[in-house]
Amino acid sequence: MARTGRRPGNTRSREQILRAAREQFSELGYDGVSIRGIARGAGVDPALVHHFFGAKDAVFVAAMRLPYNPGEVLRGIVADSGHDRAEAVVRFFLGVWEDPGTREPMLAFVRSAVTNERAAEAVRGFTQDVITRHVAAEVGISPLRASLVAAQLFGMVLVRYLAAAEPLASAPPEEVVATYAPAVRTVLGEARE
Q: Write out the residues near its own copies by the rule CB under 8 A.
A: 111, 113-115, 120, 123-124, 127-128, 131-132, 143-145, 147-148, 150-156, 158-160, 162-168, 171, 175-176, 179-180, 182-187
- Cβ closest to its own copies, residue 22 vs residue 185: 185
Nearest approach, Cβ of residue 43 and its own copies (Å): 33
Q: Contact 153/188 with Cβ under 8 angstroms?
A: no
Least separation in angstroms between residue 50's CB and its own copies is 26
Q: How far is the CB of 35 from its own copies (least distance, A)?
A: 22
Least Å distance between CB 160 and its own copies?
A: 7
Minimum Å distance from CB 45 to its own copies? 32
Least separation in angstroms between residue 157's CB and its own copies is 8
Q: Is the CB of 68 or the CB of 154 nearer to its own copies?
A: 154
- Residues 126, 30 contacting (CB under 8 angstroms): yes
Q: 49 or 113, CB closer to its own copies?
A: 113
DSSP assignment string, the chain: ----TT-HHHHHHHHHHHHHHHHHHHHHTTTT--HHHHHHHHTS-HHHHHHHH-SHHHHHHHHTT-SS-HHHHHHHHHH-TTS-HHHHHHHHHHHHHHSHHHHHHHHHHHHHHHH-HHHHHHHHHHHHHIIIIIIIIIIIS-HHHHHHHHHHHHHHHIIIIIS--TTGGGS-HHHHHHHHHHHHHHHHT----
Whichever of 102 and 127 has its CB closer to its own copies, that residue is: 127
**Closer residue to its own copies in complex, CB, 137/165:** 165
User: 10 or 186, CB closer to its own copies?
Assistant: 186
Distance of CA 185 to the CA centre of its chain: 20
